[in-house]
Amino acid sequence: MEEQLAELAAKVAELEAAAGGASNTMFAETYYYLTIPLMVIIHAGFLAYEMGASRLKNVLASGVKNILAFAFMVPTFYFFGWFVYWAWTPGLLPTAESWQTGIDFANPAGEVMGPHLADQATGVFWGAFTLFAATTASIFSGAVIERIQVVGFVILAIVLGSFAWVVAAAWGWSASGWLVANWGYHDFGAAGVVHMVAGFFALGVLINLGPRIGKFNPDGSANAIAGHNMPMTLVGLMLIIVGFWGFLMACVIVPGEAWSWFGDKWANIYGTPVTLSALAFNILMGFAGGIIGAWMVTRDPFWMMSGALGGIISAAAGLDLYWPPLAFAVGAFGGAIMAPAAAFLEKLKIDDAVGAVTVHGTLGIWGVLAVGIFASGYPSLQGAEGEVPTISLMGQLLGIVMMFLLGFVPGYVVSFILNMVGLLRVSEEAEIAGLDLTKVPSAAYPEGIGASAHPAE
């Protein structure tokens, strides 16, 4: 009788374990599925942000460009961007083994992503990564408004969103990436692999694209070119912050059968522990710190709301590790240096219409560097301390160099080629008349709303 009871208890325990595993897997799949619409809110924010920052004559052209960036990321990331992530992971260049891994995981005609989809989790995880790709394109898009050609922009967005940042993620946002495994690089919230790459890609493009007509005077001094709707820009920035919760949610590995190699604990992309408490405390503290830091320096509503985004980017790489007051301080410092950094860029005669290079590039550097300063010695991979590489200032500095190069070099080279063949910038006549009239063609305010306040437009 006792043997039968023991056997029955063992069967019950086995069934409970199986049920628990199924529940965990269903929760994990749902969790990532929900990050996708949350990250779409980022693009609603960028849409409002960039249209508000445009003059009346360019509003819809800026919107069309942003919508196309989002749309083109989906098929290109499906057909080759996802492959790049798996194939480029172990070293500077793919190996025969990693190339085969890319084919196994990302072949559009294969078992996993082909006509007979393998499971629930693959498409959901792919979708989250696709929205990361689209975010990089949207970061870049704001810097170049009011003078870039649509075709040239789409080509650049594809290079950034489905290749450049993907290589960065393979190197520094994977437990197998060489920057992580060999140098202890740590970048939980993608301050380097997303923000730095996108920000310095934009810088490379801006050098070849040139400033908007009227931005700089013959003596080198700069003129402010105000957008037509500051409230729309501020609301757009707040929507980006809302969507950022989905962005950072998707940086967490939730226990589930599809990614069981991370174990049964909540972890980051490197397999080391993370909690939702860390995210809740530190996202809000970074957000608030960035606003306050920017307010103390500028008193400018635009920089205050940009400071919210800048504060989170500043704290992003170490959100899983920081003590909340430290996240606040890191975010506040980032918010405080934004406006001076943007002014320095302007002195170099770089016309970044929305401050993308500063907010994402410069503060991406600060975010990655801060982890090296404040979190050196923590394990960078799953395992006991001493048995795995640890976070170090040297590893973070190397990561900064690589992320800068992965952004700036393709941005500069591809835009240089596009400029040579006449596909980068619109004509002077089209820019002066307005891109809505000459390129869309349509009018954002057909009944003249707001036109009386801008007679020169």
Q: How far apart are alpha carbons 132 and 243 in whole angstroms? A: 11
Q: For residues 183 and 37, give the distance between their C-alpha atoms in angstroms, rounded to a whole number.
A: 34
Two structure tokens written together for 254: 């939730």
Specify the pTM: 0.90
Res 263: pLDDT: 61
Q: How far apart are CA 279 and CA 285, in angstroms?
A: 10
Phi and psi at 413, nearest 5°, equal -65, -50
When pLDDT is cut at 50, 70 and 90, the band that residue 5 belongs to is: very low
- 185 domain residue, yes or no: yes
> Which domain does 438 fall in, by range?
19-219+227-255+268-444
Q: What is the mean pLDDT of residues 433-443?
A: 89
Q: List the one residue out of 378, 400, 398 whose CA is nearest residue 390.
A: 378
Residue 366 has pLDDT above 80, yes or no: yes
What are φ and ψ of residue 226, in 5° steps? -80, 140
Segment 415-429 mean pLDDT? 97
Q: Residues 278-334: pLDDT tens digits?
A: 999 999 999 999 999 999 999 999 999 999 999 999 999 999 999 999 999 999 999
Compute the distance between CA of residue 1 and CA of residue 247 in angstroms, rounded to an integer: 55
Q: How many residues does the chain have?
A: 457
Most confident of 195-199, 221-225, 272-276, 304-308: 195-199
Residue 241 lies in a domain: yes
pLDDT of residue 12: 38
Evaluate whether residue 7 is within a structural domain.
no
- Could you tell me the end-to-end alpha-carbon distance of the chain, in angstroms, rounded to an integer? 91
- Alpha carbon distance 457, 453 (integer Å): 9
* pLDDT tens digits, 119-175: 777 888 889 899 999 999 999 999 999 999 999 999 999 999 999 999 999 999 988
Asked whether the predicted pLDDT for residue 198 surpasses 80, the reply is yes
Return the higher-pLDDT residue of 309 and 13: 309
260 inside domain: no
- Please report whether residue 322 resides in a domain: yes
Instruction: Please indicate, yes or no, if residue 333 is contained in any of the structural domains.
Output: yes
Is 80 exceeded by the pLDDT of residue 90? no
* Per-residue model confidence as pLDDT tens digits over 42-71: 999 999 999 999 999 999 999 999 999 999
Average pLDDT for 96-103: 86
Q: Check which CATH number belongs to the domain holding 373 and give it.
A: 1.10.3430.10
- Total structural domains in the chain? 1
Confidence of residue 94 (pLDDT cuts 50, 70, 90): confident
Q: Does the residue 12 lie in any domain?
A: no
Phi-psi region of 220 (alpha: psi -120 to 50; beta: other; left: phi over 0): left
Report if residue 250 sits inside a domain: yes
Coil, strand or helix at 88: coil
DSSP string, 194-253: IIIHHHHHHHHHHHHH-PPTTSB-TTS-B-----S-HHHHHHHHHHHHHHHHHHHHTTEE
